[in-house]
Structures are given as C-alpha cells and as structure tokens.
Structure 1
C-alpha cells in the first residue's frame, strides 16, 4: 500500500485534504511555519511519531523505576518493621515530633534492638539503626561512601552554604583538614575567658531577676542567649551585648532556626518556588541576608587588613588578643598553599554559629534540668567545684580546672545520653552497606542513625531510662562500645567542635552550681520536642535560688570591632 493510501486509510484524508490536528501539533507547525506547506502531512506524521516515541520512553522509564523499587523492597524484606504501618502514611503516625512520638520509639526498642525499617508514606523506606554494632559500618565508612542526605539537611543550604555540615566529597575533606587546627587546645584555651565572662553576664541577670529570693526562669531562653553571645565573641571577636538587649544578627539566627523547622512540617513549602512566595519564605530570605551581610563584612574587613599588613605583621598586631575563628580560617592553607575563599569562610562561620549555639544550649539546658531533678547529684557537683575554687580570690574557671571535674563531666555525659541535642543523623550511602549479621542495606537507601534510640537501647544500657552518672565512671566504661554513646556523632564526620562544646558546658555548669541552687518548677510540665535539636514544647522552667555569700563577678566590657 502506498504512503498516500495508507494515510487516507488511517486518517480518512488524502494529501490534498486539510487534517484537523491535535492542538499541540498545530502550535508546533505554526512556530516552524509549516502549516501551509506541502510538507504539512509529513510534518504531522513526524511529530506524532516523535510524541509516540517520547511517550514510549516515558513508559520505559516508569517501568524501570517501578522495577528498581520492587527489587529494593525485596532486598529490604529482611529488616523488621514496627507494627501498625498505614498503607498511605506508612509509619508517620508512630514517629511524631513530640513527647508521645519519643515514647512510641522507646516501645519499639523493647522488641527491635538492632535495626528497624520504617516507611514515610508508601514509597520512602528508611533504615533506622539503634545498636552500636550496626551503626559501626555506616559511621565508619568514608564521607564519600556515606554522605549526609539532602532530604533532611537541604533546607539549611541557603543559610549555611556549602560548609562542613552540608558539603561532601573532596570539598568536605579539604575543609575538614583546614578547620581542624581551629579547634586545637591551644586555640580553645583563650576562649575560657569568654566562657567565664558570658556566664557572669547571665548570672548577673539572674541575680537581678531573683532579687535575693527564688525565681522561675526558662533555661532555654537564657542559655541560648549565653551560647550565642559566647560564639559571636569566639567566632568574630564581636560583642553585641545580646544577653541584655536585642541584636538584629542574633534575632535573625534564632528566626532562621525556627523557620527551617516550620518548613519541614509543611509539605507544600518543600518546593522553593512556592516557599519563597510565602510570608515565611520572605522572612527566611530577609534573615539570611542579615546574617550573610554581617559575616561578609567582618571577613572582608579582616581580609583587607591582612593583605595590607602582611601575615607576619598582622599576627603581631593580634598579640595579647584572642585569635578568633575568622582569624584562623583566614590564615589556613592546604598542602598546595591555597587558602579558603571569602565565601567558604562565610559558610563555615555561619555553620559554626548555627551548630554551636543550638546544640550547646540544648545540652546545657538539659544538664541543668537533670541536676535540678536530682539534688543529691547537684550537691556532689557543687562540692567538687567548691573544692577546686577554695582559696581563690575570683570565681574564674581556668583551662586546667576542666580536668579536675570528673563528676560534673559524668553528669554532663549522662544528661547527653538521656537528652541528646541531636536525636538522629541521616546518611544516603553510595554503596551497599553490609551489617554484622550479613544483611545488606542497598545503596541509595536513606539510613538514620538514631542517637536517641541507641542511648535508650536496653540491650546497650541497662535501666536505660534512669539518670545514673556513674555509668560514665572510667571503670564502668571500659567494656562498653565507643559507639554506645554518640551525642557528637562518630567516625569521619563526627562533630569537629565537641571539645569546644564540652569545655563551655563545664564552665557554665560549674559556675552556675557555685552561685545558685536549682530545683524543678512543678507548675510547668516539661514535654520534649525533637526538632533540629531536642527542645521542649514550653521551655525548661527551673526555680533559681542564689546561694548565700555568693555574688557574680562583674563582667568585663569587651569593645566592639
């Protein structure tokens, strides 16, 4: 059959007829200016064949995705699931970000103590690891094999950029090497004066609020401002006096943290083109601009001074002053002599401000809460710091004192076990991960290391719900896996600032117990709320009572730069 007859047979039209076309082909022919040419029919046939080919390719792609998903589901069948999976929501109803959700997670640990498969909706499986032996293959893998997953961290990118928290591959490895000296003990030691000073400011405020009696104060509110104050001084050598008055920069950081959490729970806000047209999206962009502008101005000012004076003269001008985080990053060089760009430094400074203030303030607030709940441990900690400070003219804690606080350290660690600031971390592996029992997590699957689940796992921690600082007595820790306690994560991507956080927490706890007695405000119930960090629904309210004969040192003024 000829082409003309075939066309007439299938469409009822010959070459001389004007066929009625699908609207899309009509538009395409107009664009190509073929609607009135003799090639019209050929063009229509070619377009229809092209559309058919595209549709066929689409069907093949869908089939491949479905087949791959089916294979993945088959491979995941070896992992146990909690009961009560909904066909549409999966296990979402069981893992709510509130007190009841955390209790439901603990119930699952009664029967599933190694690895758990949970579903987010009908199509997103997550492998949750809750035992040290099963966490080890994941956290022990290189950063290239087990990078962080963007599903859980992606919303932070416009704020934090490509810093240590979010970067991966060679860039992450290079930045990790360059940033490690910034957390060396020699750099951290001078920060002790800043920790003391910022704690003195908070305590002076507490003395005014208590007026010699007892007052109920929200620890999260006061401690968050303290950690932001100290970080701004350690990172930028800048004193915004944020514990006493409002600061645009500090307000922006607090708002950004809240907006990121809010966005996570609004599915339609996950799409950027929708989110940035909402009121929250505009507030997020405005807050990012405030933070970035502040950081950029400090970096550019320091870079200009460094270039004008030269490294040697610039360092001499810093003698007698604390070398801050920006200073260290400006001087950092890799093996090839290459320095970090201003954009890289800004990303790392913003990351440190975010990670350092939120996690440390959460950890500190929960430590004070636990010591308020257990007066006998509070008294023992107070006796320890009083013994250290005996005979001194001032209350200032020194670097060498930190090693003389074994029981305070034990209490801090036990609090971090029961109330880890970060309750889980996520990885999306680029290779299959083999578990110790031979089961395999397929590559591409999101793996969640449940820090909370591991810390409450009864097969790892007997009487796991009980606050018992003696678990961290050196003699009791010897037989325990190092991955049983991971508040700062572990492996190649562990928290680079954990020494900074621990030293600050020890100073704040020690000085607080030296000057105040804490007790729980029974009129305000504490209900946990896991977000980016472990918070509470309505704060942590403690009764704060000044100890007789104790006064707070007058904070030294620090000039703005």
Structure 2
C-alpha cells in the first residue's frame, strides 16, 4: 500500500513538474513575443497612412473578416474599394499590407525575394506537418532543393509523362462509364478528382500506386487526409494568435500540447499528419530497402527513372556520406509534393467542370473541339503537343486558373527594412505616394485573385469567367502591367524563386482529364447548393454540410 501511494505521489509530482515547465516556457515565450510585438507595432505606424478597411475588433483587427471560410465577399469588397495596395489590421494590431500592384509584386517575388520570405508560421507549420521538404525551407536550402527537383518538372519530362497521365485518366473514365451505364447519376466530382490527382502524382512522382481508382474500393486514407487538411486547418485560423508563441517548439512538445486541446479539429489535424507520415514512410522504407539490397531491377529503374524519388535517391546514393540527403528531407519532399499536386489540381478541375456545367453551350463547344481532335488522332490518346494545340481547351484552363485560382493569397514577411515601388501612385492621408517603406517584420500578402481580376489590367469584365478572352488579342494594359507570374500573365502559380515548381504538371493533368471526360460525358449541376470555402486552398462543400466535408456533387451522363 505504501509503495502504491509512493508511486501515485511520484506520478503526480512528475505531472506537476511537466505542467509547471510548460507554463514557465509559455510565460517566457509570451513575454519575449510581446516585447518584440511592441517594437514592431511602433515601427509599423508609418503604414497607417495607407487606405484600408477599419478594424472591427481591438484584439483581432480584420483577422476574422480576412480568414474564415466565407471571406470571399470581404476580399471582393476591399479589392474593389482600395485597389492595388490595402492596409489591414491583423491580430494584436499587426499592420499588414495586401498587394496586387504589379510593380510591387515584381519587387516582392523577384527583385527582393530574399527580403520577402515565407512567414515563420508558414514555414514552421509545414515543417511540423510535412517535414524539411520544399515547403518547409528558406534561402539556400530551398534553392538547393528546387535545383534537385527541377528535372522532375521539366517540359521534356512532361512530354514523356503524358502517356501515363492518359492511362490513369482512362481508369477514371471507365469508373464513370460504369456508374452512368443505366442513366444519369449524381457523382461527387471532388472525390474522384482527388483520387485521380493523387494517383497521377503517386505513379508519376513516386512510382507507387494507392489504387485510388479501384471502383470497388473506398477512397484511400491518405487521399482523405489530403482533402481534409486545409478545411480542417482553416477552421482553426481563429487560434493563430498563439501559434507564434509555440511554432518553434520541438515537434514532440507541440504534439503533446495539441493532444491536451479539447477541440475535435485539433485532434483531426493530428490524425491527418499521422496518416500522411505513415504512408510516406512505408513507401520510402520499401524503396530504400530495395536500394540497400542492391536489387538489379530496382537499380536499373533508379538509373533510368526521372520521378521524384528516383531523382532524390540518385542524389543520395551518389553523394559522399556527409553530403547525402537526410531521410526526413526526402520524405518531406515526397509528402509536400503529393499534397500540393493533389489538393490544388483537384480543386481546379472541380471548378472547371462546375463552370462548364453551368454553361452548357461552352461545354458543348469544348466537346466538339475534343471529338474532332480525337478523330484526327485516330481515336488514340492525345499527346502533350496535341493537347497544347487545342485553343478552346487551353482557353478554358487558363480562364479557370485566372478567375478562380486554387490559392487566393500568399503571405510574405519582410526580413529587413525595405521600400516597395508601385506601378500607380496611391492616395494616402499624406497625399499621393509612388513607393512605400515597409518595416522589418511586416506581413505583405500577395493578392493573387486581386491581380488576376484587376479591371484596370484585364478590362471591365475581369471578374467574369470568359474563356473567349484568350481567343482574341489580350488588352495592351495586360502587356504593360508586366505581371511577374510564371503562367499566362497571372499570379496563380506565383513567380520568382518560390513559384510553383509543378505548374506544368498541373496544366497537363487538367488538360488530360478534361479532354477524356468532357468528350465522353455531359455534366450538369445537381440540386445541391454548393459553396466555395476560403482558406489556404479554396474547397467546395454542400451548403450546410460544413467546411470539414468537402464535396462537389454533379449529375453525370453519357454523351
């Protein structure tokens, strides 16, 4: 009995010690954080002259207006009212800028990209979620990683990958064919687009299959985790106030603290991260075992392969011991690229098909172009160049990615005091200015949708989805604006050293999937009202179903 009492006392003492240690660490972190905040807020007073919406809360400013699932209307309002440079108030009176001015964006993304880097919370969040891969590094480490991965996403490699994309998409075609054999059926397009996107990047990037397109199998656990990650994270944006305090804690301590939070969304994020890591580790361990075993067939595949894991493992295998890539870095690349390629492309495909369903005459025009192209090709799959030479398909893809980019805003933070130039002077409380001083530590958000829909650049119909705009000469104002994006005069895939490395991969995937499905099936809106939820990546859901249940039901029938 005495021993039991001693054991209980010891356990309580350890629990109390851990609790006191965490409390002390939080208190010290909070004190240091508040001192640094006060210094920054004083420096940021210089930006108060920039026009912007009034803060609606003393503590949260405009944060809840900017960052919640229904924030699209507020963003439309401030873009229309304040233009290319908007001052907003973040948490704890943090003065921030939202920028779509082309010259300012060029400065941020290209000329001063080493000054304007990803925010600490973005890097730390990705580091804890995906590992030290492409989304979780800065500076020289990030440049080295991109150089290693560039061959995977080259134009030559995309041409070589087109047959695989077509092969996988044919499986999706066959699934739909079976589902609508007896007549029109309602199908969750986001579910199946997530599956095909995951399978394409898994086979094309890792030489691995999730069997995502097996019609008799449920969606893979990994696929569900990817689809639910951003909606779940978006539901927690209100708690970002404490993230700067804890973001630099080691992963084990963050996990321990998160498990104590009595919120279903927090626990769901933990499960999502666990699922992604478990699957990636299984794939990596299997490949590494074959490499270490000296399997002749695997070594031949490795030497010939140009997928992500082959490129990384060749770099690992050929380097000296001290220069070899750490296992967690390779797995970080694998997780981040699987996630990014699945989530954003499935969203873009879902939006394109929804828009075509709402405009049957445009859907029919695209179908006619595709039927003719397949007829000229002898009813075989269309290769990369054949797809690139279909003007209306190109127009539909470009216009969807322009008007409805999967990612609407991208935050950067100034790592030093700097000045950003402006294409057009803005009217401030002190008069017109053509450049702005930005204090070190200030968050400057690239307003992707604001630049993509700027009427002074694209014309009065900039907010409309009009594929035909790409079939006529583009306005001179677009050429003069010199938008610094890597894709089609838009900021959809950003520009500079942190531009989306897989933008050609995403374009090819969209074209292959649309070319096969639109040719064979007719898509119509379902009776379910769909809302698009704002967040890191926009996601569709049925109205009233909640952001944590992403879906896009549509009626599908054979042509």
**1:325 aligned partner:** 308
Measure, in 2, the Cα distance between the counterparts of 1:60 and 1:422: 33
SS of 1:216 mapped into structure 2 = strand
**1:552 aligned partner:** none
Q: Measured at CA, do residues 499 and 317 of structure 1 come closer, stay the same or move farther in structure 2, by a change above 3 Å?
A: closer
Q: How many residues of Structure 1 are paired with residues of Structure 2 in the alignment? A: 485
1:377 aligns with 2:389: no
**2:51 aligned partner:** 80
Measure, in 2, the Cα distance between the counterparts of 1:515 and 1:362: 21
Larger radius of gyration: 1
**2:341 aligned partner:** 356
Q: Measured at CA, do residues 507 and 62 of structure 1 come closer, stay the same or move farther in structure 2, by a change above 3 Å?
A: closer
**2:429 aligned partner:** none
Which blocks of at least 5 consecutive residues in structure 2 are unaligned?
Answer: 1-29, 247-253, 423-433, 543-550
SS of 2:410 mapped into structure 1 = strand
State the TM-score, normalizing by the size of structure 2: 0.79
State the 1:383 CA deviation.
2.0
State the 1:366 CA deviation.
0.6
State the 1:300 CA deviation.
3.5
Q: Measured at CA, do residues 495 and 335 of structure 1 come closer, stay the same or move farther in structure 2, by a change above 3 Å?
A: farther
What are the within-5 Å matches in structure 2 for residues 166-185 of structure 1?
166-185=136-155
SS of 2:165 mapped into structure 1 = helix
Q: Which stretch shows the higher mean deviation, 458-467 or 297-306?
A: 297-306
Measure, in 1, the Cα distance between the counterparts of 2:66 and 2:32: 36
**Structure ranking higher in helix proportion:** 2
The question of whether the paired residues in 2 share the 8 Å contact of 1:388 and 1:404 is answered with no
**1:401 aligned partner:** 386
Q: Measured at CA, do residues 67 and 494 of structure 1 come closer, stay the same or move farther in structure 2, by a change above 3 Å?
A: closer
1:512 aligns with 2:490: no
**1:482 aligned partner:** 483
Q: Measured at CA, do residues 239 and 448 of structure 1 come closer, stay the same or move farther in structure 2, by a change above 3 Å?
A: same
Which blocks of at least 5 consecutive residues in structure 1 are unaligned?
Answer: 1-57, 548-561
State the 1:460 CA deviation.
2.1
SS of 1:77 mapped into structure 2 = helix
1:248 aligns with 2:214: no
Q: Measured at CA, do residues 233 and 478 of structure 1 come closer, stay the same or move farther in structure 2, by a change above 3 Å?
A: farther
**2:116 aligned partner:** 146
Equivalent residue in structure 1 for 2:465, among 464, 467, 470: 467
Q: Give me the CA root mean square deviation.
A: 3.0
What are the within-5 Å matches in structure 2 for residues 6-405 of structure 1?
66=38, 68-73=40-45, 75-83=46-54, 85-99=56-70, 101-152=71-122, 154-244=124-214, 245-246=217-218, 247-266=220-239, 270=243, 272=254, 274-278=257-261, 280-309=265-294, 316-317=300-301, 323-332=306-315, 338-405=323-390
What are the within-5 Å matches in structure 2 for residues 526-545 of structure 1?
526-538=530-542, 539-545=551-557
State the 1:80 CA deviation.
1.0
Q: Measured at CA, do residues 143 and 347 of structure 1 come closer, stay the same or move farther in structure 2, by a change above 3 Å?
A: farther
The question of whether the paired residues in 2 share the 8 Å contact of 1:378 and 1:513 is answered with yes
SS of 1:536 mapped into structure 2 = strand
The question of whether the paired residues in 1 share the 8 Å contact of 2:101 and 2:451 is answered with yes
Greater than 6 Å deviation, 4+ residue runs: 58-64, 333-337
Measure, in 2, the Cα distance between the counterparts of 1:131 and 1:334: 45
- Per-residue CA deviations over 1:213-260 (Å, capped at 9, x if unaligned) read 222323212211111122221222222222331333334434444443
The question of whether the paired residues in 1 share the 8 Å contact of 2:398 and 2:467 is answered with yes
**1:452 aligned partner:** 449
State the TM-score, normalizing by the size of structure 1: 0.79
Measure, in 2, the Cα distance between the counterparts of 1:63 and 1:514: 61
**2:410 aligned partner:** 425
The question of whether the paired residues in 2 share the 8 Å contact of 1:330 and 1:339 is answered with no
Equivalent residue in structure 2 for 1:443, among 428, 440, 443: 440
Q: Measured at CA, do residues 179 and 256 of structure 1 come closer, stay the same or move farther in structure 2, by a change above 3 Å?
A: same
Measure, in 2, the Cα distance between the counterparts of 1:323 and 1:267: 39
- Per-residue CA deviations over 1:381-403 (Å, capped at 9, x if unaligned) read 22222222115454422222222
Measure, in 1, the Cα distance between the counterparts of 2:378 and 2:49: 64
The question of whether the paired residues in 2 share the 8 Å contact of 1:110 and 1:458 is answered with no
